[in-house]
């Protein structure tokens, strides 16, 4: 039996991806939720007695209480690191495609930077109100990460923003958060910031942010086959699909 604190507002997923509920979250609400998630991960990675890697951070695993304070939930796939351990490798990959870091999904390699990648995806989803998995755009066949990267390079970041928060925040604040989100989803885990750095970048306007590079899983689907590759079909069965075994090539 699992006993949880009662969370009146259910999950972040139920808010940001719902047309009606998402309008109840202005920019300040969303930013406070981002900070709360970042603080939670920082505690797991650095302040807890044992270093904990969540391995399945996603919008549906962020619960919201009556004051919209976020709590990270579902630690069934979490791994505890002891002593000076900083990374590990597994043959059983667990988590949700769309939030998994490239090195984890492909090689089973995970560390605190795997959670950082997942956090970056959540950041971009909170800002855009769109899911990374199943994202569609009329102008291209990119996923949400690719779309955000394309807008960043074209200096059109505000086109990523959910319409319901356009008038509740300054463009500068939102663009800074998009910048941080892109830094978190870098293809190379070595280029991703730690959660302590993420919190500093989100909380301070004077910290100079490095330029982001191409994100991991920068996917462009085949418009002719409508992303019909056999491998991608296996990896993208549903938005919340969780895998427990590393898929082997034929």
Taking a C-beta distance cutoff of 8 angstroms, is the pair 50, 74 a contact?
no
Taking a C-beta distance cutoff of 8 angstroms, is the pair 135, 171 a contact?
no
162 is catalytic: no
The partner residues of 51 in beta bridges, in order of sequence, read 81
Q: Give the span between the Cα atoms of 202 and 184, in whole angstroms.
A: 12
Q: Parallel, antiparallel, or unpaired for β 79-81 and 109-111?
A: unpaired
- What's the chain's length in residues? 250
Label residue 47 exposed, middle or buried (CB < 10 Å: 0-12, 13-18, 19+): exposed
Task: Give me the catalytic one of 56, 74, 115, 162.
Answer: 56
Q: Higher-confidence residue: 168 or 244?
A: 168
Backbone angles phi, psi at 5, to 5 degrees: -60, 140
Domains and CATH numbers, the chain: 12-243 (1.10.510.10)
Residue 175's pLDDT is what? 96
What letter does residue 155 receive in the DSSP assignment? T
Residues 52-99 pLDDT 10s:
999 999 999 999 999 999 999 999 999 999 877 778 888 888 889 899
Residues 195-240 pLDDT 10s:
999 999 999 888 999 999 999 876 665 555 544 333 333 333 334 4
Question: pTM (2 decimals)?
Answer: 0.86
Residue 237's pLDDT is what? 34
Q: Give the span between the Cα atoms of 8 and 20, in whole angstroms.
A: 17
Residues 105-116 pLDDT 10s:
999 999 999 999
Q: Give the largest CA-CA distance in the chain.
A: 52
The yes-or-no verdict on residue 247 having pLDDT over 70 is: no
Residue 249's pLDDT is what? 45
Backbone angles phi, psi at 234, to 5 degrees: -65, -35
The yes-or-no verdict on residue 188 having pLDDT over 90 is: yes
């Amino acid at each position: 039996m699992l006993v949880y604190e009662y969370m009146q507002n259910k999950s972040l997923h139920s808010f940001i991806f719902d047309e009606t509920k998402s309008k109840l979250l202005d920019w300040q609400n969303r930013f406070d939720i981002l900070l709360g998630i970042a603080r939670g991960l920082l505690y797991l990675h650095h302040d807890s007695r044992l270093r904990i890697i969540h391995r399945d951070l996603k919008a549906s695993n962020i619960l919201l209480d009556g004051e919209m304070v976020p709590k990270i939930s579902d630690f069934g796939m979490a791994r505890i690191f002891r002593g000076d351990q900083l990374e590990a490798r597994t043959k059983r990959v667990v988590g949700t495609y769309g939030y998994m870091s490239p090195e984890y999904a492909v090689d089973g390699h995970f560390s605190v930077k795997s959670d950082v990648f997942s956090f970056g995806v959540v950041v971009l989803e909170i800002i855009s109100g769109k899911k990374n998995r199943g994202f569609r755009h009329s102008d291209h066949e990119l996923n949400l990460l690719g779309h955000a990267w394309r807008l960043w390079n074209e200096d059109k970041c505000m086109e990523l923003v959910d319409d319901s928060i356009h008038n509740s925040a300054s463009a500068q604040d939102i663009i800074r958060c998009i910048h941080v989100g892109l830094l978190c989803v870098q293809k190379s885990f070595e280029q991703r910031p730690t959660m302590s750095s993420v919190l500093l970048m989100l909380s301070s306007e004077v910290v100079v942010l490095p330029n982001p590079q191409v994100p991991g899983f920068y996917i462009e689907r085949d418009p002719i086959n409508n992303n019909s590759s056999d491998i991608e079909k296996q990896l993208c069965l549903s938005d919340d699909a969780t895998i427990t075994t590393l898929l082997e090539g034929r």
